[in-house]
Chains A and B, each alone.
Chain A
């Protein structure tokens, strides 16, 4: 296939940000159209180079085509919306019913969510509803990674200053092993998400800022296993509201097509979450502190965009038409 078409299809492929099967169908169709067009132009007496150039120009820029295709293909159906909001509603119920300090129940819930996500992702073609489930699945290794890091830093500091570890040596080495392991789990999933669309990684990570601040707060208030339940019941409704906001954001995100609206939604939800979090915790935050929390949360949620630009595989992925006319995409390279 002519280099002109290869470049066009490669550029289109990198901007579509859709599921691999959908991308392949679109690229095949556009490729067939370009070839038909060029053949017709050549039959009319136009030189090969000119025909290829004209065919590509009449199709429109890859950016325009990708944007329109994204708006058509990225929204989910109502079933996706319903399923995607389930984990948010479950978490909202835990807080509304003051059950969040029953860690056995929370553990069961997390195991259930993890099993559902794992079954869906095992196929290599995750459904549109599965990203919110994956978010809560990743929350456990991500937050435990942070807690392990804090415990290890504390242990290391105590060892340096007093010459003794504040906990068992076996636990110390377990923590040393767990930190890279949990980081690898989180990073490998995030990397896979970002290779398709960084916005999906952001949607997945949407509850992270609240969950992290919540767990760190409990840890700071006498450890996770202290009896916080009764003391903080009054503001449980606020926390339930956070998960309702997450459910609404996820639902709207899945139903709208334009990327800018999706980015705006995630930004708005993050700002609302920080405000409710600051209001619900029994600590007084200054305006500056709230603003800094907002900035940190937004930077975290938009960080997959930076990661996307740095994943070099995309730039070096094979041309959509290089292998015997077969269109290949980033994701299919990744899963097969």
Chain B
């Protein structure tokens, strides 16, 4: 439950970070988040697509239907230049946030 709360405001940043690696489709992204966080962030899959569509609406990602070699059509998302800029800004903000949190919550022994 607490993981879900932590994830709530950061779903879109996680998705942008994944798409910076390579274009992916929704199901692949859900699995990738699960794998990279060793199961810590379990996406509620119903929230994944609204988040992706929100990013697409804001022109941070672009979705395109593509045929896979086994004949299945999937919607692949790729990050746009605007999305990369937004991701960089969010990464900077995140670093500052975690540093501030760590210095308060996990102070170094004097």
Bound together:
yes
Judging by beta carbons under 8 Å apart, are A72 and B73 in contact? no
- B74 — which chain A residues lie within 8 A by C-beta? 32
Chain B proximity mask over A47-73: 1 for CB below 8 Å, otherwise 0: 000000000001111001100110111
- A36 — which chain B residues lie within 8 A by C-beta? 27
The smallest beta-carbon distance between B96 and chain A, in angstroms, is 29
The smallest beta-carbon distance between B35 and chain A, in angstroms, is 13
| A32-B27 contact, Cβ under 8 Å, with A59-B45, A60-B45 | yes
Judging by beta carbons under 8 Å apart, are A64 and B46 in contact? yes
Judging by beta carbons under 8 Å apart, are B50 and A33 in contact? no
Determine whether A256 belongs to the interface, using a CB cutoff of 8 Å to chain B: no
Chain B proximity mask over A203-214: 1 for CB below 8 Å, otherwise 0: 000000000000
Give the contact stretch, choosing among A23-31, A179-187, A227-235. A23-31
Determine whether B72 belongs to the interface, using a CB cutoff of 8 Å to chain A: yes
Q: List 6 A-B contacts (CB under 8 A).
A: A26-B53, A28-B73, A36-B27, A37-B45, A68-B46, A68-B49
Judging by beta carbons under 8 Å apart, are B45 and A58 in contact? yes
- CB under 8 Å from chain A, chain B span 41-78: 44-47, 49-50, 53-54, 57, 65, 72-75
Judging by beta carbons under 8 Å apart, are B50 and A69 in contact? yes
Q: How many B residues have CB within 8 A of the partner chain?
A: 17
- B73 — which chain A residues lie within 8 A by C-beta? 28, 32
Judging by beta carbons under 8 Å apart, are A69 and B49 in contact? yes
Determine whether B26 belongs to the interface, using a CB cutoff of 8 Å to chain A: yes
Specify which of B54, B72, B75 is in contact with A29 (CB 8 Å cutoff): B75
The smallest beta-carbon distance between A213 and chain B, in angstroms, is 39
- B47 — which chain A residues lie within 8 A by C-beta? 60, 68
Judging by beta carbons under 8 Å apart, are B53 and A69 in contact? yes
Most buried by A among B25, B44, B46, B74: B46
Judging by beta carbons under 8 Å apart, are B46 and A60 in contact? yes
What residue of chain A has the Cβ atom nearest to residue B58's Cβ? Answer: A72
- A64 — which chain B residues lie within 8 A by C-beta? 46
- B53 — which chain A residues lie within 8 A by C-beta? 26, 69, 72-73
The 3 closest A-B pairs by CB, nearest first: A60-B46, A68-B50, A36-B27
Judging by beta carbons under 8 Å apart, are A72 and B57 in contact? yes
Judging by beta carbons under 8 Å apart, are B27 and A33 in contact? yes
Judging by beta carbons under 8 Å apart, are A72 and B26 in contact? no
Specify which of B49, B54, B65 is in contact with A26 (CB 8 Å cutoff): B49
What residue of chain B has the Cβ atom nearest to residue A71's Cβ? Answer: B50
- CB under 8 Å from chain B, chain A span 67-83: 68-69, 71-73
The smallest beta-carbon distance between A165 and chain B, in angstroms, is 60
Q: How far is the CA of A28 from the CA of B74 in the complex (A)?
A: 9
- B49 — which chain A residues lie within 8 A by C-beta? 26, 29-30, 33, 65, 68-69
- A71 — which chain B residues lie within 8 A by C-beta? 50
- B27 — which chain A residues lie within 8 A by C-beta? 32-33, 36-37
The smallest beta-carbon distance between B12 and chain A, in angstroms, is 12
- A59 — which chain B residues lie within 8 A by C-beta? 45-46
Judging by beta carbons under 8 Å apart, are A33 and B26 in contact? yes
- B57 — which chain A residues lie within 8 A by C-beta? 72-73
Chain A proximity mask over B14-42: 1 for CB below 8 Å, otherwise 0: 00000000000111000000000000000
| A32-B75 contact, Cβ under 8 Å, with A37-B27, A72-B54, A72-B57 | yes
Q: How far is the CA of A35 from the CA of B54 in the complex (A)?
A: 23
The smallest beta-carbon distance between B32 and chain A, in angstroms, is 13
The smallest beta-carbon distance between B44 and chain A, in angstroms, is 6
- A65 — which chain B residues lie within 8 A by C-beta? 46, 49-50
- B50 — which chain A residues lie within 8 A by C-beta? 65, 68-69, 71-72
Specify which of A25, A26, A32 is in contact with B72 (CB 8 Å cutoff): A32
